[in-house]
Amino acid sequence: MKLLKPNWVNHDEKPIFSVDVHQECLKFATGGQGNDSGRVVIWNLLPVLSEKAELDESVPKMLCQMDNHLACVNCVRWSQSGFMLASGSDDKLLMIWKQSKGPSGVFATGGIQKNYESWKCVYTLRGHSGDVLDLAWSPQDRWLASCSIDNTIIIWDVQNFPAMLAMLKGHTGLVKGIAWDPVGKYLASQSDDRSVKIWKTSDWTCSNTITEPFEECGGTTHILRLSWSPDGQYLVSAHAMNGGGPTAQIIEREGWKCDKDFVGHRKAVTCVRFHTAILKRQAPKSQKPQQYCCLAVGSRDRSLSVWMTALQRPLVVIHELFNDSILDLSWGPDKCILLACSGDGTVACLQFSENELGTPLSEEDKNALYQRIYGKSATNMENGSSSVADMVIENSELLQCIQEKVKPPTLPNISSSNHNNNCVGPVIQNTTLPSSNGLICDISNNNPTTMIKSGNLAQNPAFGSNISPVKAIGQQLETRTADGKRRITPVFIPLNQNVPESGNANNLISCSRATSTMNQSLDNRTIAAIGAETGISNNKGIESTVLPKAAITEQEEGRLDSRLVKSTKPLMQPLKVTQDVFQSFPYFKRTPTPVTDINPASFISPSKVFQASTSGPKIPITVNTKCEYQKTALDYRVHVHNGCVHTATGLLAKVTAYRLNVGKLWETYVGSPIVNFNFCSKCVMLCSLDGSMRLLDLHTGSIIMPAISLTTAVIQCAFCPKGRLVGVITECGILRIWNIETCSAVLATTCSEVFGKHGAVMQFHITEHAVPLIMFANGHAYSYSPQLMSWLVLNTKDPIMRHGLQTSMPKEFNKNYLSYPLTSVQASTNAFAQQTAAIDLNANDWQTQAKIIFIENQIKLCEAINSPEELKHWYSMLAFQLAMSGNEKKLRLLLNDLLGSPSIAGLKERTHILDISKHDLLENILKQLKAHIKWQRLYMEYNELYEKYKILRKKEMEIAPVSLKSSQCTITSQFRSVAATPAITKTETESCAKLDERMDMT
């Protein structure tokens, strides 16, 4: 044995509270106190074990230092896979670290000291109300357990960080240590309340409480790190007493007997750690190999002892190893090394040989041992699912499904392009790209305004076959203004010089002001164009070709490439814009611009912006206000000039519409200042200060509907995605929705019940079914139901709603108000919820039921707002949550409702929900159950019922294809009416009754 104490492993003379060796035995982590913060350091293990590597300056010693924790780090633990590192601290937080690419600097060194490895905090887990003292990863990294001085243990779902799976309460003192049973059936915890508790992982209840060996103990230790033997037969606790002397108590798995312990330390035992492998060696005076486990014990007496379960005396005892208590221990899984750390800020390494410790069992021998003890191999063990793992798969068709990982259902992507808040609608018919200055770059038909000599778009069916892939730019694009000045028109050049030949992010041409290019990343089918919000000055009679300045952020600033060379002659004629000079207006809200897919066949519902902004300018407008503002979208620009014309009776507002690649379309005048307006591809809605609303044709400016009085001014105005409906919300809370095609009112109500108490209205949307969706500044969202004559709650600060949104909403969801209006609204307002969300310390008491309540409410909301696509998703999500929570009663109720009955009751039942067959929903749910081995019998039962149901219905349709005449008409009576027909027999009639009877039984 070798004893090594590398003095370079330190935390600047601060205490080190935890140490853990990586699974590959190439590095180890320490956690403790840093300079004014908690510190986690990852060290290179090679210089510890090799003097040559230690003296070699090219071999790094410290790989990474992380000072993210605000207070002392009490525990660090590598995951079983070695890909993640968890740390727990006095700041009540857990941080999950993963290695990332790229360099990083040591905190507070100003970038002078570099890390050789870059580790980033990918998750921050909040849930404890006190210092986190110990951590433990379960076998196969399914769960992570943490304990705290708040007397609780939290089980975190590793698959869904930062989701909290359970909070275990039962200890009445500080919980200072936790350890997983290697079999995955139990979790053990030790506390200052002088007890060790054994928790069942199947339902997270306390199975046993052991107190006898700890009755004489006092709370004199900072931590109580207990450990489970790798064969699962023994649990060894820290700080027990026997005859007045400190011991490490051995607790046997069988009956939890406590009649053995490790003795010899003079002060309380602080930590115990078993070697992760089951060891073997030749037994003395015997030909059979001897199997045993090895553990290390650390104490407050600053001594360390190493024991073997096959020996009655310790293998080695080292006294005065440190100047302070030993706080943590860690074995190297693949090497015979043991690391120990102390409160004096140092680390010691004990290096053994295989002759001293023994040889680890092979996987075959280990599986054979587990099979003999527990009836199953170690490789097939899953945490907390021992009962499931022991199940026999009774149906061969389930074998493949069981092997796949169970995942929650997700909403399908209707479009591969990005969906913003207005991102739905038909395919854009032209191929013109709005430029960053609002003018157009036409690439469809050799428009003389732009001539591209090199660097054309890649070939695509949407643009014609004569377009070649992007190549290196050989010449610049140059224009000349009216006064003869030359202007360079930049062309988009990817920053990555290795440009592939196929269509990808370089399939873009962006026209902008000289020396301003747009640096964007696009997918292989998307053309993006960013429109600017500009205004027209009051100068008249000026002819100019100066392009407007684009509103480009610092991130969007492009760079000219070295491949660009100066052109010697102009390549394009100047673009003339008569009598209008464009300039930026400071108060205009940026309008979303089209994002179109250039391959319409690649998705179901191609999308684009279907309207401009729904809100007005952020400037106060009165009767005498003179101001200008405009909105740009859909290749159109509508400009408003309030106070443009003086008359004997007051000021007039002028409205001008432009088609970006055509020019001015029309202009009109309104007798009251326009406080808000919006437009879609068909219409323009003008809302005036006097409360009047006008609807004009976007292309001609002709009046579609007479001017409507709304009492007060409009604050929000919106169109539905297809432009058939238009709606407004006024200052006094009046809500109106009209059908443009029929010039009739669809909805007339007031928002007074929800208006005013939630802050300003941030967003307003209308679905294709005339359902209003209103979002407020505080994150609340509502919709109105004419059938219920009430407002429906879409999002509030209700704890159940918040929990449901944070745990059940699809991740990275692209908003789509045409197909998924409910989820889009909730995704928009969920950002407010995340900012103000509090941590609930009793999550395990209600969170499972809260998810189910939330999803059931989502289903009813989908029915109320007529959203069939979302309805299918939330039905699948409900089945998934019921299956995961083990709620068989509710599962059966759900399946029975969707299956229906072929008898008289079945004919009276609703067979469709929002034009979706209940049987289609049933098929989706059965697919969910198919992946859960626990529910295989339930799946087979209802799958059989469903198949029989389909057979009976099919035969009924063959014999009596006519529609049912009345509610008294039953399947049984139809069978009797065709008794002479040999296709339907008495046996089949009886089977129908039996099917009903089975349904009643389930």
Q: What is the pLDDT of residues 914-959, one digit of tens each?
A: 889 888 899 888 888 888 777 888 888 888 888 888 887 777 666 6
Share of the chain above pLDDT 90, in %: 34
8 pLDDT higher than 80: yes
- Rounded to whole angstroms, how far apart are CA atoms 822 and 781? 10
Written as one letter, the residue type at 853 is I
Per-residue pLDDT averaged across 818-834, rounded? 74
- Rounded to whole angstroms, how far apart are CA atoms 289 and 359? 10
The whole-chain average pLDDT of the chain stands at: 75
State CA 867 to chain mean position distance: 23
Task: Report the pLDDT value the prediction gives residue 605, as an integer from 0 to 100.
Answer: 40
887 pLDDT higher than 50: yes
- Across 334-353, b (16+ Cβ under 10 Å) vs e yields ebbbbbbbbbbbbbbbbbbe
DSSP state of 919: H
- Across 307-319, b (16+ Cβ under 10 Å) vs e yields bbbeeeebbeebe
Task: Report the pLDDT value the prediction gives residue 964, as an integer from 0 to 100.
Answer: 44
Task: Report the pLDDT value the prediction gives residue 514, as an integer from 0 to 100.
Answer: 34
Residues 429-479: tens digit of each pLDDT: 333 333 333 333 333 333 333 333 333 333 333 333 333 344 444 445 566
Q: Is 564 helix (H, G, I), strand (E, B) or coil?
A: coil
Q: Give residue 840's pLDDT band: very low, low, confident or very high (50, 70, 90).
A: very low
Q: How far apart are the first and last CA of the chain?
A: 67
Task: Report the pLDDT value the prediction gives residue 983, as an integer from 0 to 100.
Answer: 40
Per-residue pLDDT averaged across 128-155, rounded? 93
Task: Report the pLDDT value the prediction gives residue 985, as an integer from 0 to 100.
Answer: 45
Q: Distance of CA 814 to CAs 236, 421, 811, 862, Å?
A: 51, 9, 9, 18
More confident position, 693 or 979: 693
Task: Report the pLDDT value the prediction gives residue 339, as an integer from 0 to 100.
Answer: 94
Task: Report the pLDDT value the prediction gives residue 177, as an integer from 0 to 100.
Answer: 94
State CA 428 to chain mean position distance: 31
Q: Give residue 653's pLDDT band: very low, low, confident or very high (50, 70, 90).
A: very high
Task: Report the pLDDT value the prediction gives residue 392, as an integer from 0 to 100.
Answer: 56
Task: Report the pLDDT value the prediction gives residue 401, as an integer from 0 to 100.
Answer: 61
746 pLDDT higher than 90: yes
DSSP state of 381: -
Greatest mean pLDDT range, 553-567, 581-595, 765-779: 765-779
Task: Report the pLDDT value the prediction gives residue 553, as an integer from 0 to 100.
Answer: 40
Per-residue pLDDT averaged across 380-403, rounded? 52
Under 8 Å between Cβ of 251 and 258: yes
Task: Report the pLDDT value the prediction gives residue 134, as an integer from 0 to 100.
Answer: 94
Task: Report the pLDDT value the prediction gives residue 948, as an integer from 0 to 100.
Answer: 84
Gyration radius (Cα) of the chain, Å: 36
Under 8 Å between Cβ of 736 and 759: no
Task: Report the pLDDT value the prediction gives residue 377, as an integer from 0 to 100.
Answer: 57
Per-residue pLDDT averaged across 200-204, rounded? 88
Q: Give residue 826's pLDDT band: very low, low, confident or very high (50, 70, 90).
A: confident
Residues 696-715: tens digit of each pLDDT: 999 999 999 999 998 899 99
Per-residue pLDDT averaged across 93-106, rounded? 82
Per-residue pLDDT averaged across 629-650, rounded? 90
Residues 39-57: tens digit of each pLDDT: 999 999 999 988 899 888 8
Residues 527-563: tens digit of each pLDDT: 333 333 333 333 333 333 333 333 434 433 344 444 4
Task: Report the pLDDT value the prediction gives residue 476, as an integer from 0 to 100.
Answer: 52
Alpha helices in 375-409 (DSSP H): 386-389, 399-403
383 pLDDT higher than 70: no
Query: What is the helix, strand, coil percentage profile of the chain, to 5?
Result: 20, 35, 50
Which of 965, 966, 942, 946 shows the shortest CA–CA distance to 954?
946
Per-residue pLDDT averaged across 264-281, rounded? 91
- Rounded to whole angstroms, how far apart are CA atoms 662 and 636? 10
More confident position, 866 or 515: 866
Task: Sort 661 into a burial class: Cβ within 10 Å, 0-12 / 13-18 / 19+.
Answer: middle
Per-residue pLDDT averaged across 264-271, rounded? 92
Task: Report the pLDDT value the prediction gives residue 404, as an integer from 0 to 100.
Answer: 59
Q: Is 822 helix (H, G, I), strand (E, B) or coil?
A: helix
Written as one letter, the residue type at 322 is F
101 pLDDT higher than 90: no
Q: Distance of CA 723 to CAs 189, 595, 684, 768, Å?
A: 62, 18, 11, 9
Q: Which pair of structure tokens corresponds to residue 344?
A: 């004096």
Task: Report the pLDDT value the prediction gives residue 554, as an integer from 0 to 100.
Answer: 40
Which of 536, 543, 510 shows the shortest CA–CA distance to 641?
536
**Dihedrals φ, ψ of 881, to 5°?**
-65, -40
More confident position, 590 or 858: 858
792 pLDDT higher than 90: yes
607 pLDDT higher than 50: no
More confident position, 838 or 869: 869
- Report DSSP letters for 430-493, one per residue: S-EEE-TTS-EEE-SS--TT----S-PPPPBTTTBTTPPPP----S-EEEE-TTS-EEEE----
Q: What's the predicted TM-score (pTM) here? A: 0.51
Task: Report the pLDDT value the prediction gives residue 479, as an integer from 0 to 100.
Answer: 62
Under 8 Å between Cβ of 458 and 470: yes
